Each structure stands twice: as structure tokens, then as C-alpha cells.
A and B are shown apart, each in its own frame.
Chain A
Amino acid sequence: MRTLSLKVNGDTVQAAAPSHWTLLEVLRYKLGLTGSKQGCDKGDCGACTVLVDGRPVLACLTLAGAVEEREVTTIEGLMPLHVKSGGDGPDPVQAAFDRCGALQCGFCQPGMMLSARALLNKNPCPTRAEIREALSGNLCRCTGYTQIFEAVELAVAESIGVAPAPRSWEAQRMDPSEAQAAAKRAAAHLAERRKQEGRE
């Protein structure tokens, strides 16, 4: 047993825990931050992903003692952080996941959204391939990932101030040429923004 001093979601907190406890155990069982999920407890699923100094980390493989003095952000911290920095309500990633239907059972999603947040922090207009890559450590069993990609793309599109490409079921209800044009427009905006950022 030792007393840990952790910086979680902007607060410095003390927690007494056995020294072999992982960050996930301390978050869930000592600090009551149950938003971080445990899907496997051995580094395979990503449900326990949290941000440590802005980087996604598997909390089930990280000893709590190893992250003292470092900034830990859990899913519970995203909205307060966003509000503190002048935003309104949930983080745009959370809002986009909610609006795109990406939250089916939701169990994978705290980890997923934190991975997405970390991606957007360092690459604000990723391509679909980059999104796939960045989320590849987070298993989702419900969605088939499509609505997750769409959610991240919505968050990106809104941050640039354009409309995202229509989803397959939306395109189906549109005039085919209109749907194609909309998809092209969205792609062009993204490409342009990536150029400005020096990514293309």
C-alpha cells in the first residue's frame, strides 16, 4: 500500500492503493471514475484508454505509480475541460459521437473518444485512413466502425465549418449527382485544409 499523488482531470488527488495496482484500478476503484472501462485487463481491447500528457495510454497496463506528476485525462474530464476553455457542453468529439449514432452499447467508446481526441489534437484534419490508424487500438464490437469514422469526420468538418460527406443511407435518398457533388465538396475542403496545414 502506498499513497499516490495523481493529477487527474486537472485536480491533484491522493489515493492509497497497493503498489501493484494499475492506473485503471485506481481510477475505477479508488477515485470512482468508472467512465474508463475494463474489457480485457491485459492490453488487447483499448476500452481503458486514457490520456497521459495528451497521449493515449492503456490504463490497464500502466502502473498507477508510474504516472504520478503527469496529467491524466479520463472521459469524465473532457466536458469540464471543454467548458473551462470557453466551450459549451460536451467536447466536440463527444457531441459528434452522440449525433452520429456511434454510441451503441457505448462500452468501447470512452477509450475510443479519447483516442480520437488525441488524434485531433495533433492532426486536426485527418483522412479516413489516418482515423482508422489512430483508432486501431480500440476494439468496437457493435458498430463495424463506420459511424465512429463518420463521427470523427463530423467533428473535423464542423471545426473547418463545412458539411461532411453524406452517409450511405443519406446519399440513397438524395439525387445521385447531388450526393456525389456533396461528397466531392467535402473531400475538396479537407484536402485544401490539409494543404494549408502542410499535410499534403
Chain B
Amino acid sequence: MGARDQHGPGAPWGDAQPGAKDNQAFQVVGKPHRKVDGLAKATGAAVYADDIVLPGMLHAKTLRSPHAHALIKKIDATRALALPGVHAVITGQDMPIKYGVIPWTPDENALALEKVRFIGDEVAAVAAIDEDTANAALKLIEVEYEVLHAYFDPKEALVRHEPSIHEDKKHNKGNISKHVELSFGDVEAAAKTADLVVEDDYSFHGTTHTPIEPHCAVAQYSADGVLTVWSSTQITHYVHRALARVLELQPARIRVVQPCLGGAFGGKSDPFSLEFCVAKLAMITRRPIKMLWTREEVFYAHRGRHPMQLHYKTSATKDGRVTGVDAKILIDGGSYSSFGLVTTYYAGQLLTGPYDFPSYRFDSTRVFTNKPPCGPKRGHGSVQPRFAFEVQLDQIAEKLGMDPIEIRRKNFQGEHTQTVNGQRITSNGFMRCLDEVERASGWRARRGKLPHGRGLGVAGSMYISGTNYPVYPNKMPQAGIQLKVDRSGLVTVFTGGNDIGQGSNSVVCYIVAEELGIPVENVRVVAADTDLCPVDLGAYSSRVTFMVGNATIDAARKLRALITAAVAEHWGIDTRRVRMIEGTVIDVEDVAKSMSSVEAFHIAEEKHDTLGSTGSYNTPTLGGDYRGGTIGASPAYSFTAHVVEVDVDTETGRITIDKVWVAHDCGRALNPMLVAGQMEGSAYMGAAEALLEHHDINRFGLHQGPSLLDYRIPTSVDAPEFAALIVESLDPEGPYGAKEAGEGPLHPVLPAISNAVFDAVGVRLKHLPFTPARVLAALREQKSASVAKTTAKGRA
């Protein structure tokens, strides 16, 4: 069912306004319910991939390349195979078919075929009775390499073509992974007629996800030839497709299950080497196989946020209206494509809100280098450009003597409008986000007036709630749901959606309970199992609440129609008089007529046979009418504003974040507690990227600190205080008006910190991360500039 058909004319939630005290319209939605898996997680009962133990299971380990770029001349596994306890060794030759999450750029092999492209690239895998034996066997595999020139600087990769990291000349010119150039309106003219043009360079350094659970996969190949893979993936459906392709198996003979997942943030979106390896080894040995990556391996598997070098030129009128934005972006992709095609588009396509500017041009180029591959990380592709632009907007406000919040208000694009690159904007609560952070932070009384060293900064952003680009072209639903009714009163929901901790299974449960008027305890959710659940495209691009939510409403309303029809017939009244609420079914016009929902289920089953329903969601046709116009086209966009308060120690250069006010327009908070959790978690992650984290690959291609000690993710004493301020704009197409909350709220914190530092000490930080050394250097520069100024004045 398409989005527009979803709710028909008029909003489906009647006049129930969010936050209204007398809001009786919703029984479940909008309330801080527990999560469906909360107590299982609280008591240690939840089963994650590494908790799975199968009888006779072997353990597998991966041999990785010690070279950043090299040809594989020879692999000899004879000695490894001879080691007692070793059951199988596989290499690239065993799985020569290439794959990639984006079907247009299949450039990965489960194990390297002819060459390795980064230190840590997978070369061989061993299955043995235990991990110790498998590790010992890895040391006995002899690999002969011919080392090639390795690229670590994206600028070199841009101009030097030989040796090329990938050979496929059809897709890659030299070492260029993707180049996108799009232009809307006339930026040149805008710059010529502008009162003010600000032009500057910015950079993002590269960070990684570090979910606390390392990647793990388990495979079993049954006697009748069915392959089951349990994997810590956030996209079961794509893993299913990739396994079928690489292993040359019928998709119908493969089952992929996502157990409870210990965090992902985009880092478990690609099909990974370990999934293919456990499957292949299970097929060879006919025994269950488990592979658990070490923390170090997770750092090398990476797929984290791309380093970017960004050049922005913004034109504005003297009253602060932005008239043109011209961007040039160089993206360091690392060694494989991953989602890189999308990243390259997103880097430009997602900047065109919440502000309206009549002309825009971006030129973004992703190059390959011999580093761990980059991919999608929370706020995919758009966090880095957003950082650059929001700092630049502050620079414009500074030059014009405008308040930074005012300049953002001034450029607000409005609701129900179209962006310069042809994206449809529906609901837009950005102005209220600005109001909220302004109010809560005491902005007017405090900004610019705090003592030297303390400051406030603001930034805004926009993000997608799913995308209508389904990764592989097809017209089938992007989300599907099945409901099954039991005579006990239990309703089971089958969803292909991946709950990665964000609570999507809970959202599905709340919606079914809401629509059928039954307690949440009477809804059970079965998720992310390709044998049992209808296809869903997975947990990425913040699509789950919006798409799976809408599919759930669709299925639940169909089921409700069956039940109310049966009850209406039973009572001999019009269907419209039957209402399902609080575990009962009532006649709204005659309170004497009432029955429990269990009785109603029975009556409906008598009338209709076995009870159940299906529901689905597909986006309407969206996007600009040009090549790539659908990438970044979303059925709804979320909006965010942050104000950050910092304390800058001018002696040490250390920045301390005291508080972050996070206002986010999530459409409607289906569960405000879970929304707040997403907002806080996002802002925390972004703040850490700005101040602490650096996925740093040195000049040999080695990670500078692949451990949770050296890669500094904040502890409970480092984390700033967050205030989650929820804004609800009620999107006309979202489930009950809901939009995403899991990625958007990450964006503004990085530029807001930079802008707050400017308020605190008057220096502009344009290059991430904001290390004490960088802050001190900026302060020194500021000092020498002011000394130069005063001496110049003195001379004059």
C-alpha cells in the first residue's frame, strides 16, 4: 500500500494533539511503555549471536593481510590443514564471486582473490575444534605477496591512476570510486550579486561505530541442504541475497536470522566476510561453525564515517538570506565501495534543508585508498557536509552581526514545500526546534554574555526518514508485516524489521496494541528471520519506524476490519458502532453491549476462518527528475536543532561540553522515552566524534589504536548532560504522524560545538577533531593576529 493511500483523506489521529493533557484518543501510542525485550535484556536472558551454541560446533578464524596493497602470489595451507583439530581451510578461490551491498558496485570478495587492498583484508579462514587451534592454524598458512604502492592520501588517489586499487575500469576511473556533480539554479550569478560571500575549507577526520558487541556469525548446513546463518547484522534481507549470490545457492534454501543485536549504528549494514566464511565452512565440514571477531578485527572491518575534505562557498544578502551554496567535497572511501555510491550522493543531496536557498551546486568525489573501507555510520554521508555548512552559516551571521539563531530562522524553508534539488518536504518542525533550544538554554540572556572561556553555539539539520531508493530496483513493498491471531487472545506480529536496540520491535508491538485495543502484553513480535517474516529492507536510512510502522498500521487495520465486521454481525449492528479498546470490544452507542477481545477473536474466527492479515508499505514516487534524483528522496524529513554550552580551558586547550540541548522534530513520539533515548544517544555519539574519537590510519596503513582504550569513546564521566526536547510536527504520511529519531539528532552537535567555541574564545574550529592541540594552535594564531594588528595600528 502506498503512503498516500495509507491514511486516506484527513489525518488518522483525529484531533488528538501531542502532549495534550486530555488526550484520550490513544491508549498506547505516546506513552513511555517498556520495551518488549527490556526484561530479557535486563536479566541476561536475551540471546545474542555469540550466545548461540550448537552441538558439535567448530570455531573459525580469519587470516588477514599484513600489507596495505599487494598481489597474492601463492597461498599454501598444507601445514595448517595437517594440524590436529583443524577441519577446513578456505581461501578466495572457494568463493570467487564478487558482491557488494549496492548491486552496481560489487567489488568485494568474501576472501581476497588476487590481491589485498588494506591491512586487515581477509585472506583465508580456518575451522577448528576451538579458537586456540584455529589461531594456531592461521600461523601455518603461508602466503606469498608482491607488495604494491599503497595510497593513504585521498589527494594522491585522485590524480594517480596506477597502480589502481580496483581493476574494474568500467566503474572506476583510476582510483575514483564515484563522482557526482549536480547543479540547481545559478550559483555563479548568486555569488556575483551577493552582498556577502564566505568561502572556507573544513575537514572531517573519520570515525567508527564501535558497537559494544563485536560482529559474530553462526552457520549450520542441514542434511537436507538448508543453510541457516545467524548473524549480528542490521539487514537480514541483503545478507540473504548476498549469500545466495556468492555461495551459488537457491535463495529458498537459505535462512538468515538476526538474533538480539548488541549495537550497530550502520556498522553492521554490509554483508561481511565472516557471514560467507561460516556458511562455506559449514557446507564443507557439515558441522555448525561460529566466527566471532575480536575487537581489533571490528576496527579493521570499519565501514565507519568517511573522512572528507570540504570546501564551501556561500552567498548571502546583507539581511542574512542565503542565496547560493557551492560545495566541493573529496571523500576518502578506503578500500571498497560499500555504500559509497550513496555516500557520494548524500554528501550533497541532504544539505537542502531546513534552509531554503535558490541555488546550489555540489561536486563530490569518493576515491579509493588502501585503508579499511568506509561505509554508513549514523547520519550517513551528511554529518560532515552539515558540519561545514553550519559553521559557515555562523561565519556569515558573525560578519553580518546577526544572532546565529535568527539567521537560521530567516532562512527557514517552511512546511509542505520543495527543496532546490527537488525533494518534497512535508511536515517541518524546525522553527519549533529553534524555539525550544533557545528557550531551554537561556540563549537570549546568555549567548555572547558569558565570561571568556564559556560559550553557547547553535546548529540545525535535516535527515531522511527512510529513502525511496530500495538498493536493488524492484516494485515490491519496502516493508511487510504479517499478523496471526491465537485463540488465547495473543496476536503475533511477524516483521522483517531489524531491531538493533533502537526499539523497532517495541514500536511494532505498540501499534498493534493500539489498533486492536489489546494490552501490549498480548502482542508478541517475531522479527528478522527470513524463514518466518515477510521481507523488510532492514535497519538503515532511519526507515524502520516510518515504513514498518505504516505497514503495521495497514495490517492491523485490515485485521480490525475483519473482527469488527464479525462482531457487528453477531450483535446485528452497523460495523461503525464497534470499537476495540482496552482488551474489550464495545458498541459505542450501547454500553451494555461489550465482550472481551478474546471472545471477539473467536467470533471472527468462526466467521472468517483462521484469522490473520498482512500489511505493507511503499513510498510514493519521490525525488527530482534527474539522474540520482531519488537518492536522498524521503517520504518525510526529520529536523533538529542543538544548542551546546562549552567551557574552553585556554591554558590546556581542552574543551568541556557542559550541556547539550537537543530539540528534534520526530513527527510524533510513539514512545517519548525511546525517542529521548535516541536523541541523547545520537548527540552523545556526535559530541564524541567532535572531541575524542579518531579512526586514525597511519602512513603504513595501520590503525593507530584498535582498542576500546585507545579509540576513546566517552565513559559515564566524560559524557555531557543532555536535555532531550521533543518536537512533534505530525507528519501527514508517517505512522500516527511519526518520523525518524535515531540519526537526525546526531548532526548539529559537531558544528554547534565549533560555534560555541567561537562564542567562548573567538576562534573558529573548522577541522575535526577539536583536540586540545588544535584549540591551542587556534588560540596562538588569534593572539599573534591581534598582536600584528595592534603593532600595525601603533605604526600607523
- Which positions in A face B, CB cutoff 8 Å? 28-29, 32-42, 44-45, 47, 74-76, 78-79, 90, 94-95, 97-110, 113, 131-133, 135-149, 167-170, 172-173
Q: List 12 A-B contacts (CB under 8 A).
A: A95-B42, A103-B42, A105-B260, A136-B715, A136-B717, A138-B715, A141-B212, A142-B681, A146-B680, A147-B680, A168-B676, A173-B19
Contact B212 A147 (CB under 8 A): no
Contact A106 B41 (CB under 8 A): yes
Contact A76 B43 (CB under 8 A): yes
- Which positions in B face A, CB cutoff 8 Å? 19, 32, 34-35, 37-39, 41-48, 50-51, 53, 209-214, 260-265, 294-295, 436, 440, 500-503, 669, 671-677, 680-685, 707-709, 713, 715-717, 719, 721-726
Contact B42 A104 (CB under 8 A): no
Given the complex, which residues of A lie within 8 Å of B672, measured CB to CB?
Answer: 169-170
Most buried by B among A28, A45, A137: A45
**In whole Å, how far is B670's beta carbon from the nearest beta carbon of chain A?**
13
Contact A133 B717 (CB under 8 A): yes
Contact B716 A103 (CB under 8 A): no
Contact B295 A141 (CB under 8 A): no
Contact B722 A104 (CB under 8 A): no
Contact A39 B725 (CB under 8 A): no
Minimal Cβ-Cβ distance residue in A for B262 = A107
| Contact A145 B719, CB 8 Å, known A44-B709, A74-B44, A173-B19 | yes
Minimal Cβ-Cβ distance residue in B for A109 = B41
Q: Which of A38, A44, A113, A142 contacts B42 (CB 8 A)?
A: A113
Contact B707 A39 (CB under 8 A): no
Contact B715 A101 (CB under 8 A): no
A109 to B43, CA, bound (A): 9
Contact A106 B716 (CB under 8 A): no
Given the complex, which residues of B lie within 8 Å of A94, measured CB to CB?
Answer: 39, 42-43
Given the complex, which residues of B lie within 8 Å of A139, measured CB to CB?
Answer: 212, 708, 713, 715
Contact A44 B680 (CB under 8 A): no
Contact B47 A34 (CB under 8 A): yes
Contact B681 A144 (CB under 8 A): yes
A135 to B714, CA, bound (A): 12
Given the complex, which residues of B lie within 8 Å of A90, measured CB to CB?
Answer: 39, 42-43
- A98-B34, A104-B503 are known contacts; what are 16 more A-B pairs with Cβ within 8 Å? A44-B707, A101-B676, A105-B263, A106-B42, A113-B42, A132-B717, A135-B716, A141-B265, A142-B681, A143-B677, A144-B681, A145-B719, A146-B719, A168-B676, A172-B436, A173-B19
| Contact A101 B673, CB 8 Å, known A107-B263, A109-B42 | yes
Contact A104 B724 (CB under 8 A): no
**In whole Å, how far is B690's beta carbon from the nearest beta carbon of chain A?**
14
Contact B51 A34 (CB under 8 A): yes
Majority secondary structure of chain B interface residues (helix, strand, loop or mixed): loop
Given the complex, which residues of A lie within 8 Å of B265, measured CB to CB?
Answer: 141
Given the complex, which residues of B lie within 8 Å of A136, measured CB to CB?
Answer: 715-717
**In whole Å, how far is A123's beta carbon from the nearest beta carbon of chain B?**
16
Given the complex, which residues of A lie within 8 Å of B502, measured CB to CB?
Answer: 104
Q: Which of B42, B673, B684, B713 contacts A97 (CB 8 A)?
A: B42
**In whole Å, how far is A47's beta carbon from the nearest beta carbon of chain B?**
6
Given the complex, which residues of A lie within 8 Å of B295, measured CB to CB?
Answer: 39-42, 44-45
A105 to B681, CA, bound (A): 12
A112 to B214, CA, bound (A): 18
Most buried by B among A33, A149, A167: A167
**In whole Å, how far is B669's beta carbon from the nearest beta carbon of chain A?**
8
Most buried by B among A34, A42, A148: A34
Given the complex, which residues of A lie within 8 Å of B44, measured CB to CB?
Answer: 33-36, 74-76, 110
Contact B716 A145 (CB under 8 A): yes
**In whole Å, how far is B613's beta carbon from the nearest beta carbon of chain A?**
30
Q: Which of A95, A100, A101, A105 contacts B212 (CB 8 A)?
A: A105
Minimal Cβ-Cβ distance residue in B for A107 = B262
A79 to B717, CA, bound (A): 28
Q: Return the 5 tightest CB-CB contacts between A and B, nearest first.
A: A35-B44, A144-B684, A105-B501, A107-B262, A106-B41
Given the complex, which residues of A lie within 8 Å of B440, measured CB to CB?
Answer: 172
Contact B42 A47 (CB under 8 A): no
| Contact A42 B725, CB 8 Å, known A90-B43, A109-B41 | no
**In whole Å, how far is A166's beta carbon from the nearest beta carbon of chain B?**
11
A149 to B677, CA, bound (A): 12
